[in-house]
Amino acid sequence: MRKGKKGDAIPPEALNALARELERLGDPYLEIWKAGKFCYVRHGGSPLCRLGYRGDTEIWDFAIYKYSTQRYSAQEFFPRTGTVAELVRMAMSAYNLRP
């Protein structure tokens, strides 16, 4: 069940927690930027995935970037929620990138 309201912005403490988790992955090519309730993750300047804020810094919604449609999709064979590290590793694995 989603805790955050539709359109809720990511609070600074959640964004900081997300940034710390990405830093722990140890890949200098990972970048993030936020827009509303979403945080977009790029690798080397290319889209990787979108994480959606659920009102909890531990569990995030997930959508992978599909180059075939140039859109983010939560309808693929991936879990729709998880921790930042799990979700980003999964997206990197789908594109044969290693943290």
- Each domain of the chain, given as residue ranges in start order, spans 12-68+85-93
Phi/psi region, residue 7 (left: phi>0; alpha: psi -120 to 50; beta: rest), is left
The mean pLDDT of 24-33, rounded to a whole number, is: 96
Q: For a pLDDT cut of 70, what percent of the chain falls above it?
A: 92
Calpha distance 96→99 (Å, rounded):
10
Over 60: is that where the pLDDT of 76 sits?
yes
Q: Whole-model pTM above 0.95?
A: no
